[in-house]
Amino acid sequence: MPAYIAARISIADRNAYAEYEAGFMEIFTAHGGKLLSVDEAPTVLEGEWTCTRTILAEFPDKEAALSWYNSEA
């Protein structure tokens, strides 16, 4: 059964984040990850949204999601 990770990210240093982002997809896809949504300007229906980027990711199962999340890369 697919597993999903929703993340709210605050990017303080765009240059440092660009370095992280450069190697992200290779590791992410190696764990079976698929990006369903990436948004830096979501429509907020209630409350405040203070994060810079919001993502929704899908993995084949919970084990794959946790393996990616806990990887040292």
For the chain, how many structural domains are there in total? 1
Q: Provide the domain limits for residue 33.
A: 3-69
- For residue range 30-62, list pLDDT tens digits in order: 999 999 999 999 899 999 988 999 999 999 999
What is the pLDDT, as a whole number, of residue 71?
92
Task: State the DSSP string of 8-70.
Answer: EE--S-HHHHHHHHHHHHHHHHHTT-EEEEEESSPPP-SS----SEEEEEEESSHHHHHHHHT
pLDDT exceeds 80 at position 65: yes
Please report which confidence band the pLDDT of residue 72 belongs to, taking 50, 70 and 90 as the band edges. confident
What CATH number is attached to the domain comprising 36? 3.30.70.100
Share of the chain above pLDDT 90, in %: 85
